[in-house]
Amino acid sequence: MRLGLALAVGVALLTGCDVRETQLAQAGRLEAQWAGADSGKISTLAAAEWCTERRWLEIRAIQGDTGLALALYPVDSIIADSYPVVDPTRADSVRPSASLGLRLFSQTAVKGYRGDSGAVLLVRSSSGRLSGKVTARVRGVPNGEQVRLSGKFDQVAVLPQERGCVAESPDSSADSLQDSSESAESGDGQVD
């Protein structure tokens, strides 16, 4: 009985380790470098998530305190294409397009940059994995400092997005404003 239990626990532990090693071996990579107002590079594992409801793909990589994220907005589904980098405030409404965010830590501050021009070239393998190249001009938020960024990603697996992937109804913000104003006007001076 003890031997059977020990064997079962041993197999479970080995299987768990094997799964983690397999996941790491299958992870894609992203490498990028930038120069201008700031300079640096990133070379690390990359993840990609597809949001079906909003039709957007996020590819991200984080190394230490540095992070780079690409959001691709295809017309309908993920296809091999060239996605022009546009300001993130317009990316969802001008399809196909891409937006880009870069986060850096300097000696005295956290710096954020967002792409305003360039392109992401996306290639999809027969297995569904993504590879591609990115070139972009990014500007500091809020100071407008410019940085030129270039990079590539290779063999990134796409998973369904599990957080933040809910289509927002066009009336949802108007309804919540109306509900809050009605409760404030209930006459008793109390806000619910």
Q: pLDDT tens digits, residue range 94-145?
A: 999 999 999 998 888 899 999 999 999 999 999 999 999 999 999 999 899 9
Q: Classify residue 93: in a domain, yes or no.
A: yes
Those residues whose C-beta lies under 8 Å from the C-beta of residue 39, and which sit 6 or more positions away, are: 33, 147
Nearest to 100 by CA among 110, 83, 85: 85
Query: What pLDDT is recorded for position 101?
Result: 97
Q: Classify residue 22: in a domain, yes or no.
A: no
**Structural domain count of the chain:** 1
Q: Classify residue 63: in a domain, yes or no.
A: yes
Enclosing domain of residue 138: 27-161
Q: Classify residue 4: in a domain, yes or no.
A: no
Q: What is the pTM of this model?
A: 0.74
The Cα 35–Cα 99 span in angstroms is 19
Q: Classify residue 82: in a domain, yes or no.
A: yes
Residue with tokens 């949001």: 51
Check pLDDT > 70 for residue 179.
no
Q: Classify residue 78: in a domain, yes or no.
A: yes
Task: pLDDT band for 178, please (50, 70, 90 cuts).
Answer: very low
Q: Classify residue 176: in a domain, yes or no.
A: no
Q: How many residues does the chain have?
A: 192
**Mean pLDDT within 42-46:** 97
54, amino acid identity: R
